[in-house]
Amino acid sequence: MTLDSKIPDAPLQDMWRDHKFNMKLVNPNNKRKFEIIIVGTGLAGASAAATLGELGYRVKVFTFHDSPRRAHSIAAQGGINAAKDYHGEGDSVWRLFYDTVKGGDYRSREANVYRLAEVSNNIIDQCVAQGVPFAREYGGFLDNRSFGGAQVRRTFYARGQTGQQLLLGAYQALARQVAAGTVELITQSEMLELVVVDGKASGIVVRDLVTGEITSHSAHAVVLGTGGYANAFYLSTNAMASNVTAAWRAHRKGAYFANPCFTQIHPTAIPSSDEFQSKLTLMSESLRNDGRIWVPNDPDETRAAADIPEADRDYFLERKYPAFGNLVPRDVASRNAKEVVDAGKGVGPLKNGVYLDFADAISRVGKQAVDDKYDNLFEMYERITGEDPFTSPMRIYPAPHYTMGGLWVDYHLQTTIPGLFAIGEANFSDHGANRLGASALMQGLADGYFVLPYTIGDYLAPMLGQSKVDTSASEFAMAEQAVREQTDKFLKTNGTRSVDWYHRELGKIMWDHCGMARNRAGLEKALSEIPALREEFHTNVRVPGSGSSLNSSLEKAGRVADFFELSELMCRDALMREESCGGHFREESQTEEGEALRDDDNFAFVGAWQWQGLGTDPALHKEQLTFDNVALSQRSYK
């Protein structure tokens, strides 16, 4: 099968408008004849469910959480970009598009990114109308900040809780539709199979996490807004339950998985304090505006940070990148931190971090000013570590944070399975090899509010008059059987080790070999270790309890099983991509100064993988990327 991205044949600026006109429409009175299943209630899923409900479709929305509002979009701190140019700085849709393509290191699709930039302004309007309490200036108008090194102020924010507020906006819109009866909300139910009938996505099989009941649900189309897969690394900034299961089960049913190796490592998380740490907490990237990053020169340094004289400190980012200093992009900052820690110069009890020092800023503007500027971040740091960052520097270290890869989708956000759509972080589109700050929220809401509701109509319109596949079809019975078998198998294995133990071990392999820097030998090693560990997992895991009540071990077992298979694909993809770009750094492909070196001649493509069965190598399909509007150039931050 060749990949058809269905990019309309029109100039970039007119493309989405023209395409909206050209797409088939479903008459408002006919919309109620179509049923749509949406899995996931984060920014993308909730906004899509609400909008489709408003349009009149009959929507069933599923979440494994106890409420739609718990989705991990809620944890995003920084903000959301839009090309409003409210400050007259020369921002525009074109500039946001340009920055996003460049920031993604030229591995994203121009058409999708342009559309994203185009609808960014509608998102802000919509959210304001919903009552999202964005920060305001004294005149009552919307406030903005510059974020992630952008040269214009285009980031809208609601304190340090922008994701929370945007999600609540979408959740409230969803709640309105639930009350109106257009959307049926099904909580604490996890999608465990996609059902494909006659080549089309026709429904899903879910397990009720409270009662253990396994049920089938059919619809005319299925939409996955199920988030990213950074938890493959075990320790990440993702929530504990964030998982790849829905996307992966769809992949196993034929949806291609694109660019799995494109993962983003965020430079400013709090380093883990012991082996039993369960997750990493992010500190806002904005701290790098005032904090200076350094490590001691001497790996055997034992003095407290404040007692180490200037001469014995290495401000490695300022030294290597005099122009950008501590504000180099996320991937550069992360890799350099790894380098010094690997060289034994890490700080803290486990020597697994670098200092982020505010002493200069405090002596320049005063403690109060620093505290005010960073709101509650200093307090949050102290709460977690027990150290006062006003007297000793913060310790930070990179952490897996976001995954640019995901299910391959065309311009319609449709996967390679007709009728199956993927939105938000679950798809691969828009961010290329690296996501810019404050763009994740933008993409999730763009897909859910302003893209999918149009494109799904184009798929549904020709199906008018066809009823959805009945759940009595044999495909549903088979899918239910597969879920039941897997559940039973986990409960019966009765091995010696917990699910978490295997997840931690998998995470270590991934972090060591498929983390911030990758090389052939490491990836090949990982590719031999992961299947072995996976085998052991399936024969030696211990899942206590029963399948007929709440059983978090059982839930996790299914998710970790999928992470095992995905991790292998991530390594395979990283091995295939013999270049460095964005968040993917192959040590073999770097400039003389140690910077990422792209290979546009050979790797300017999207790598979409087709499942061929466990133990069989997946097939790689390439979608060639063309850059007609943004000239390819090498990034430089010297």
Partner 1 sequence: MNLTLRVWRQAGPDAPGRFETYQATDVSEDASFLEMLDHVNESLIESGEEPIEFAHDCREGICGTCGLMINGQAHGPERATATCQLHMRKFADGDEIVIEPWRAAGFPIIKDLVVDRSAFDRIVEAGGYISVDTGSAPDGNLIPVPKEVADTSMDAAACIACGACVAACPNGAAQLFTSAKMQHLSVLPQGQPERYERAVAMVDTMEEFFGSCTNMGECEAACPKGISIDFIAMMNKDYRKGLMKTRRSA
Partner 2 sequence: MATKVTGVTEGSPPSPGGGRTRRPFLLELYGSAVGKKYVMAITGIVWLGYIFAHMVGNLKIYTGAADFNKYAEFLRTGLLVPIVPEEGALWLMRILLIVTLFLHIMAAYQLTVMNRNARPERYQARREYVAADFAARTMRWTGVIVLLFLLYHIADLTLGWTNPAAAGSTPFEKLVASFEQPLVAAFYVIANLALGIHIYHGAWSLFQSMGWNNRKFNHWRRAFAVGFAVIVIGGNVSFPLAVQFGLVG
Question: Looking only at residues 138 through 177 of this chain, which bind partner 2 when binding is defined by CB under 8 A?
Answer: 176-177
Min separation Cβ 505 and partner 1, Å: 14
Of residues 232 through 291, those in contact with partner 1 by CB under 8 A are 239-241, 273-274, 276-279, 281-282
**C-alpha closest to that of 336 among 284, 282, 398, 402:** 398
Distance between start and end Cα atoms, the chain: 43
Of 167 and 209, which has the nearer Cβ to partner 2? Answer: 209
Of 58 and 69, which has the nearer Cβ to partner 2? Answer: 58
d(CA 284, CA 157): 13
Query: Rounded to whole angstroms, what are the CA distances from 535 to 181, 238, 488?
Result: 46, 26, 17
Position among 17, 24, 383, 622 found at the interface with partner 1 (CB under 8 A):
383
Residue 213, interface with partner 1 (CB under 8 A)?
no
5 binds, among partner 2, partner 1, none (CB under 5 to 8 A by kind): none
Of 548 and 634, which has the nearer Cβ to partner 1? Answer: 548
Min separation Cβ 210 and partner 2, Å: 4
CB contact set of 287 (below 8 Å; sequence gap of 6+) = 268, 356, 374, 377, 394
Quick note: the x/- pattern for partner 2 over 87-106, rule CB under 8 A, is --------------------
Of residues 184 through 203, those in contact with partner 2 by CB under 8 A are 184-189
- What residues are paired with 514 via a beta bridge? none
Residue position matching structure tokens 């899918």 = 479
Min separation Cβ 35 and partner 2, Å: 11
Position among 22, 27, 67, 467 found at the interface with partner 1 (CB under 8 A):
67
What radius of gyration, in Å, describes the C-alpha atoms of the chain? 24
d(CA 10, CA 16): 9
Residue 178, interface with partner 2 (CB under 8 A)?
yes
- What residues are paired with 584 via a beta bridge? 581
Position among 142, 197, 327, 477 found at the interface with partner 1 (CB under 8 A):
142
Question: 397 near 271, Cβ under 8 Å?
Answer: yes
Min separation Cβ 186 and partner 2, Å: 5
**Strand, coil or helix: what is 151?**
coil
Quick note: the x/- pattern for partner 1 over 553-582, rule CB under 8 A, is x-----------------------------
d(CA 308, CA 291): 17
d(CA 36, CA 52): 8
Contacts with partner 2: how many residues (CB under 8 A)?
A: 22
Question: 294 near 377, Cβ under 8 Å?
Answer: no
- What residues are paired with 399 via a beta bridge? 266
Residue 173, interface with partner 1 (CB under 8 A)?
yes
d(CA 54, CA 272): 44
330 is annotated as an active-site residue: yes
Question: 334 near 154, Cβ under 8 Å?
Answer: no
32 binds, among partner 1, partner 2, none (CB under 5 to 8 A by kind): partner 2
Query: Rounded to whole angstroms, what are the CA distances from 482 to 79, 210, 213, 426?
Result: 41, 20, 14, 23
Min separation Cβ 590 and partner 2, Å: 51
**Strand, coil or helix: what is 88?**
coil
From the list 58, 154, 292, 330, the catalytic residue is 330
Of residues 61 through 80, those in contact with partner 2 by CB under 8 A are 66
**C-alpha closest to that of 583 among 233, 117, 145:** 233
Of residues 2 through 61, those in contact with partner 2 by CB under 8 A are 32, 54, 56, 58
Min separation Cβ 27 and partner 2, Å: 14
Residue 395, interface with partner 1 (CB under 8 A)?
no
Residue 162, interface with partner 1 (CB under 8 A)?
no
Of 55 and 570, which has the nearer Cβ to partner 1? Answer: 55
206 binds, among partner 1, partner 2, none (CB under 5 to 8 A by kind): none
567 binds, among partner 2, partner 1, none (CB under 5 to 8 A by kind): none
Residue 413, interface with partner 2 (CB under 8 A)?
no
**C-alpha closest to that of 203 among 479, 408, 482:** 479
What is the binding site for partner 2 (CB under 8 A)?
32, 54, 56, 58, 66, 176-182, 184-189, 208-211
Active site residues: 330
